[in-house]
């Protein structure tokens, strides 16, 4: 297998799995926050703040995947 083809496949896997994991993580975090707010509406502020921090951390993974993909696409052009 050529280096370019391997780099392209690696970039696709990095972005795809990063997006899949982030989507699942975001869904689970939102589900848990909405369930908590439904059970205890007075804790909405704390739950939303914690949820947004958690989602921000989860979204770092696909951003890193995109950076890795750009690095690998740089290898394809070389």
pTM score = 0.75
What is the model's pLDDT at position 9?
86
Domains and CATH numbers, the chain: 8-73 (1.20.20.10)
3-state secondary structure of 1: coil
Residue of 57, 73, 64, 70 lying closest to 18 (CA atoms): 64
Residue-wise pLDDT for 10-52, tens only, equals 888 888 988 999 999 999 999 999 999 999 999 999 999 999 9
- Dihedral over Cα of 21, 25, 28, 30: its sign: negative
Q: Could you tell me how far CA 65 lies from the centroid of its own chain?
A: 8
pLDDT-derived band at 78 (thresholds 50, 70, 90) equals low
Say how far apart CA 25 and CA 32 lie, in whole Å: 11
């Amino acid at each position: 297998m050529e280096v370019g083809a391997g780099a392209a496949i690696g970039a696709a896997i990095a972005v795809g799995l990063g997006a899949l994991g982030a989507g699942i993580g975001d869904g689970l975090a939102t589900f848990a926050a909405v369930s908590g707010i439904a059970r205890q509406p007075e804790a909405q502020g704390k739950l939303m703040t914690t949820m947004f921090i958690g989602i921000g951390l989860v979204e770092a993974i696909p951003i890193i995947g995109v950076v890795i993909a750009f690095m690998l696409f740089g290898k394809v052009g070389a």
